[in-house]
Amino acid sequence: MASRHLDRFILTLGFLLIVASFLVLSTGKRDDQNFKTIIAELKFLQNSVQTKMAGSVAWFTGEEEEKINSYGMGLTSTASAAHYLYMDKTQIISLDNSLIEFLPDEEVRLGQGSATVLNPTENLKLSDQNGRIIPVEKGVMYTATEKGIESRPIKFEKIWAPNGPAYQVSFTNDILTEKFLLAPPMLTIKMKGTTCVAEILPIGGDVGDVTYQAISDGRPLSINGLNVSTPSSDAIIKISALSNGVRSAWREIQVPSHCIKEGPEPILEDLEFFAISSQQIFIESSEESYPFLVSFLVDGGGKFAVIGPKIDRESDISSSFNREYKLGPGLYEFSLKKGNALYTRKIEVKVKPPFHLKNSIFIED
């Protein structure tokens, strides 16, 4: 009888140890992410990528925004790729069947496979599994071999696609191509004071080569930085992303009820800029330019144009316009066409004539 109780005790104890180990490993992955030793992050991944935190024996399925501490590792499987951000500044792409270890003091160890660094720093070093170190250069693919790390020059390109997987990497004919799905951004609408403010949340992979467009009821909405003008009526805002001729799908966001104001939309109109039909401005020399601010508000939209020396532009205005122009010598015409109405203002920039004294008599005291 005592033997049977002892067996049950041992089985129970073993089960509890297994559960405790699982919980430690599972929470260890997340808890390690709060350590001060975090130095890398898995930003984008293609297919199967695994990560392992230093001090752990377990590998976990990689996820976007996954953080990795010092001496942590990233492993890509067949037909996979990973894009890491190291030390909050260095972008590293590893191809399939590659093992990377992130060491402190700007050192990355390539245990197997191939990797390239998009923006290496002056102090960044790459080491092989035997500890041999080489400096890192831009536009080079590094491959781990039995003899050490081999390198070859490559070209890099980044493209956007309107559909397909969120992230893809291909390496063909010494060209490394990173392809991102151009998805519409998220839009958050929050109340600030008595008005609502809509803010764009940029899409993943956006490094400045993406622009955004927002419309409501078929009319474009003004975008200032990442802030979008919000209708105060019951409406739907549509927003999309554009890059190099590629447009994403449209994302629709309903204007929240607390942003809707009773009564008609207030008229947005201030065309005081065109109250002056013409004027002259003098500058000191022909090499100078005069900073001239063009600013007005218009309700219902219009077409704005400016014509002058070395400038001939035309654009659609949805609500507001505020821009500074550098005007050199010459005649400039600013115009706004709104329906059948045409507003104009002409600016003539002249160089001050030289100062001459003619037939003058000086009397000395």
Q: 10-residue block means of pLDDT along the chain (365 residues)?
A: 54 53 44 64 95 90 92 96 95 97 95 96 93 94 94 93 90 94 88 81 70 86 84 86 86 87 62 83 87 83 91 85 89 91 91 65 54
Is the pTM higher than 0.85? no
pLDDT of residue 33: 43
Q: How far apart are CA 168 and CA 245, in angstroms?
A: 19
Secondary structure class of 7 (helix, strand, coil): helix
pLDDT of residue 15: 54
What fold characterizes domain 272-351?
A: Immunoglobulin-like (2.60.40)
Q: Where are the beta strands (DSSP E) in 63-147?
A: 66-69, 72-76, 81-86, 90-94, 99-103, 107-112, 114-117, 125-127, 133-135, 140-145
Domain ranges of the chain: 34-181, 186-259, 272-351
Q: Do domains 186-259 and 272-351 have the same CATH topology?
A: yes
CA 175 to chain centre: 23
Q: How far apart are CA 350 and CA 352, in angstroms?
A: 6
Contact 142, 120 (CB under 8 A): no
Q: 101: which residues sit within 8 A by CB, 6+ positions away?
A: 71, 72, 73, 108, 109, 111
What DSSP designation does 64 have?
T
Q: Could you write out the three-class secondary structure of 290-347?
A: EEEEEEEECCCCEEEEEEECCEEEEEEECCEEEEEEEECCEEEEEEEEECCEEEEEEE
Phi, psi torsion values for 14, nearest 5 degrees: -65, -40
Q: Please, how many CA atoms are within 13 Å of residue 304, restricted to the half-sphere of its CB?
A: 20
Q: How far apart are CA 186 and CA 228, in angstroms?
A: 12
pLDDT of residue 29: 43
Phi, psi torsion values for 9, nearest 5 degrees: -65, -45
- The CATH-assigned architecture of domain 186-259 is Sandwich (2.60)
Closest by CA position to 162, among listed 176, 180, 178, 177:
180
Q: How far apart are CA 174 and CA 177, in angstroms?
A: 10
Length in residues, the chain: 365
pLDDT of residue 162: 87
